[in-house]
Amino acid sequence: MSYAYSIQHLKRALGSLLILKKTRTRTKINLNARIRELEEAIKLLEKEQA
């Protein structure tokens, strides 16, 4: 099973959140949690793909 598309999509979402984090200060705590979740999901998918 190929996870390449899912990994690419999650990395794009992660990039968007990182950009948002730089510009917004009020929601950093929520953004940090979402960023961690996306990073963990990407790691899991990359491990499954290998």
Concatenated DSSP letters of 2-26: --HHHHHHHHHHHHHHHHHHHH-ST
DSSP helix/strand/coil, 29: helix
Higher-confidence residue of 25 and 40: namely 40
Whether residue 43 has pLDDT greater than 90: yes
The confidence score (pLDDT) of residue 25 equals 66
Query: Of 20, 43, 42, which is closest to residue 31 (Cα–Cα)?
Result: 20
What is the reported pTM? 0.73
Is residue 17 within 8 Å of 38, Cβ to Cβ? yes
**pLDDT band, very low/low/confident/very high, at 30 (cuts 50, 70, 90):** confident
The residue ranges of every structural domain in the chain are 4-49
